[in-house]
Structure 1
C-alpha cells in the first residue's frame, strides 16, 4: 500500500489536499493511504517512531519549522523518498533542490495540477521499481542502490562498502556473506576474492592477480582463481552481458 504524508499548517489547504488525493485514488483506481500533519514537528515525530512514507507532500511556508526544515529531517531517515513541495511563492525553488525535492507546485493546488504531477511521479516510481536494485541501511540512512550503478562491493572489518560508478561510496554495517548471497542473484557479479564482489558490467581487464575496472579501480584476485574469473566473465559476455 502506497503511503503518503501531507503536511500543511493551513487547515483549509490540508483539507483541500485530502479531497484531491481521495479524488485521485478513486478516479485512477490508485491504492494508497495518507496521513495528515498540521505541522512539521508532528511529521518528524512520526518518523522518529519508525513510520515511513513513499511520498512526502510538504507546504514550504510554515511558522517556526518550515517545509525545508522538515525535508532536511526526512533526509536523515530516508535519502530517496520523493518530496513534493507546495508553496505560494517560487522563491524557494532553489532550496527545494538542496533537499532533492522532485518538484514544487505553486498554490492554489488545483485538481489539474495535482493529477498531472502525481501521474508523472508515479510513472517515474514505476520505472525505478522496474530496475534491479537493493535497499541498504547505511550510516546515512536507508538508501536504494541500482544494480547497474554498483561497480563493486568490499568488506573491511565489519563494514561493507558499496562503490558506485560515480565514485560515491556507501558504507553499511552488515554481514558480507548476506550481501554476496543477495547480489549474486542478479547474475552479473563475480567474487574474485573473499573480500570483494565485482559487477562484470564494469570489468575492463582481467589479469592473473587483479581485475581492472572501467572506473580504474583494481580488485585483487585470490590465488588460483584467475582462470575461474576469466571463464565466468566470458560466459557472462556470451550470454549478452554488457
Structure 2
C-alpha cells in the first residue's frame, strides 16, 4: 500500500524543499508515497475533482486568488479524512485551523525534524481512519467507519450513533465508549463526541462542523478543552 500526498504551494523553491523532505521521511518510515505538487489552490481543486484519494495535504496559507484556508474550508465540506498541514510564514492563521480541523501549522522555513514529527502523526491518523466499528443488531451486523461517527447520545436503554446515517441500538453508552478511540470524548453521562468534528466550544454547548449543537453539561468545559488540546 502507498499513501497519496499533495503539496500545494505557489513557491517552486518551497515546493521542492518540502518534496525532498517528504521523500526522506517516507524512506525513514519505510512506506511508499506518491507526491503531487500544485502551484495554486485552483490547480489543486481542478485535479481533485478527478482524484479525491489524497491522504495528506501540505498546504501553503498565503497564495494567490484563493488562499490555503479557503481551500481547506472547501475540502472540509465533503472530506473529513484528509490530513491538512498548513505551511505559513505567519502565526496569524492558527485560529482558522481550528475550524477546518487542521492537523498542525508549520512555520516557514520548515524544519526537517518538525515536519517528520507531523507526518508521522498524520500517518497515524490516516491508519486510524481505516478502522471499522462492527456492531451486532440481532438481525444484522453494522459496519461503521469510526471516522464517520460525529457523536452518540443515549435515550433510555438505547444509544443513537450519528454518522452519515443515524443508527439506534440497544446498548449502553459505556459499552460504545470502550469500542472507540482517543478521538472521542464523553461529555457527561449522555453523550460522546468526536473531537475532530468540533468547530467551537462554549461553557454551555459544543458546536460541530456540520452545524449540530450539543448541550454541554455543567463542569464539562475544562475537560473537553483539555481533550481537544491533547489531540493536536
For the superposition of Structure 1 and Structure 2, which TM-score range results when normalised by the shorter chain? 0.5 to 0.7
Equivalent in 138, 144, 148 of residue 145 of structure 1: 148
Q: Does the 8 Å contact 1:47/1:77 carry over to 2?
A: no
User: In structure 2, what is the equivalent of residue 115 of structure 1?
Assistant: 116
Larger radius of gyration: 1
Q: Distance in 1 between matches of 2:105 and 2:37?
A: 18
2:144 to 116, 134, 137: 134
State how far apart, in whole Å, the 1-side matches of 2:34 and 2:55 are: 10
Aligned residue pairs: how many? 164
Deviation at 1:125, TM superposition (A): 3.7
Residues 1:30 and 2:31 aligned together = yes
Contact 1:44–1:73 (Cα < 8 Å) also in 2: no
| CA displacement 1:135-177 (0-9 Å, x = unmatched) | 4xxxxxxx93249x5458xxxxxxxxx944xxxx4555xxxxx
Indicate if the aligned counterparts of 2:56 and 2:122 stay in contact, CA closer than 8 A.
Answer: no
TM-score of the superposition, structure 1-length normalised?
Answer: 0.58
Give CA deviations for 1:100-159 in whole Å, capped at 9, x if unaligned: 111110010121121121123323444554563734xxxxxxx93249x5458xxxxxxx
Distance (Å, rounded) in 1 between the aligned partners of 2:132 and 2:163: 19
TM-score w.r.t. the length of structure 2 is 0.61
Report the 3-state secondary structure (helix = DSSP H, G, I; strand = E; otherwise coil) of the residue aligned with 2:144: strand
Distance 1:61 1:199 in 2: 49
- What's 2:173 paired with? 202
Structure with the higher helix share, 1 or 2: 1
The gaps in structure 1 that reach 5 residues or longer are 136-142, 153-161, 173-178, 180-195, 205-213, 217-242
- Provide runs of 4+ in structure 1 moved above 6 Å: none
SS in 1 for 2:58: strand
Aligned: 1:17 with 2:18: yes
Distance 1:198 1:95, change over 3 A: same
- The change in CA–CA distance for 1:82 and 1:197 in structure 2 (over 3 A counts) is same
Distance 1:201 1:10, change over 3 A: same
Distance 2:98 2:173 in 1: 30
Q: CA separation in 2, counterparts of 1:26 and 1:171?
A: 36
